[in-house]
Structure formats: structure tokens, C-alpha cells
Amino acid sequence: MLKGKKVNVRPLESTDLDWFTEWNNDSDYTGPYEPMEISSRDAIEKWFSKESSSSWWVIEDKDGNPVGQVITGPDGRHQFIGYIVHPDSRGKGYCTEAVEIMVDYLFLSKNIVRVQAETNPENVSSIRVLEKAGFTFEGVRRKVFFSQGKYNDGALYRVLRDEWSPRVLSKGS
């Protein structure tokens, strides 16, 4: 368990798959910028039991209730990060702290020099999260995401190890 002040972050478990399936099949949860994907509980279970290079994480509030999810994984020699917070829990700084926790965790646990995130340039709340969590805007890649029936641009953000100092976790976490 990675502990913050507002939220904790822990690995996704098989016991999470009921709410995880329900939430990820709900477009109010995934929002207009994530790919539209509807999956059965069986399909999600099969996906969960497969080996993957990506890691899935649960954002919990301080009462232990799930409020969202984070994905991290390799992107070449770097790590990427992506995130969703339940609509009922948005605007409380939960995602920002979860991203700060994960950036700390990735730099403290892996021999990498860069963490990156890419978001639709119109996704103002996601961009705000990245700015608040210490990411720097690098540029726009054209037509990299398919959602809402069309290809959309991606605004690329990064934190380099040289630019980072722990925000939430300590070296002993």
C-alpha cells in the first residue's frame, strides 16, 4: 500500500473486478477521451489473469473505498502513467496525489530517467492534474488516440529524474 494524505494506492486485486467491470463499462466514469470499450465480467477476468507488462492500481480514499484507478507500464525505456477517478470523487485532489504517489514510486523503485503521460489537449482536468503533479509539457503528437469515432491528438507531458524530488513518499516508504 502506497500511502498519501488524501488517498492510498494499491495493486488491483481479483476482488476488485466487480466494481472495476461496472465502472469501466460506464462512459460517465471513463469520460469522453478514453477509448470506448465495453467488456464482460468474464473477459475482464481473463484479461486480469494474463501476464502483462502494465501494472494496474486502485486509488482508495482514506476509508478504504475505491475512488479510481491508475495504470503504469513501460514505454520504451520510460514508464507511462494513466488515470481515472470516479465522477463522485472528482475535484478533491485525489488524482493529483495518486499521480504524485506513482511518480515517486516509479523513480524510487525503477532504474528509469523519465515518466510520461499523454492526454487529449482538450482534457483540461487531466492537463491540470499533470501540471499540479510537476509534469512539463513537451508538445503535441498528431492523431495518436482513437476515441469518439475519430483520431485525436495527444499532449505529451514528462517528469525527468533530474527534475523530480519525492512529493509524497519518502525514500523509506
Binding residues (CB under 6 A) for ligand COA: these are 30-31, 33-34, 82-85, 90-96, 119, 123-126, 128-129
* 3-state secondary structure labels for all residues of the chain: CEECCCEEEEECCHHHHHHHHHHHCCHHHHCCCCCCCCCCHHHHHHHHHCCCCCEEEEEEECCCCEEEEEEEEEECCEEEEEEEECHHHCCCCHHHHHHHHHHHHHHHHCCCCEEEEEECCCCHHHHHHHHHCCCEEEEEEEEEEEECCEEEEEEEEEEEHHHCCCCCCCCCC
Q: Minimum Å distance from CB 99 to ligand COA?
A: 8
CB of 76 to ligand COA, least distance (A): 19
Taking the complex as a whole, the smallest distance from the CB of residue 130 to ligand COA amounts, in Å, to 9
- Is the CB of 46 or the CB of 61 nearer to ligand COA? 61
Question: 8 vs 119, which CB is nearer to ligand COA?
Answer: 119
Question: In the complex with ligand COA, which residue's Cβ is closer, 94 or 107?
Answer: 94
Q: Which CB sits closer to ligand COA, 25 or 30?
A: 30
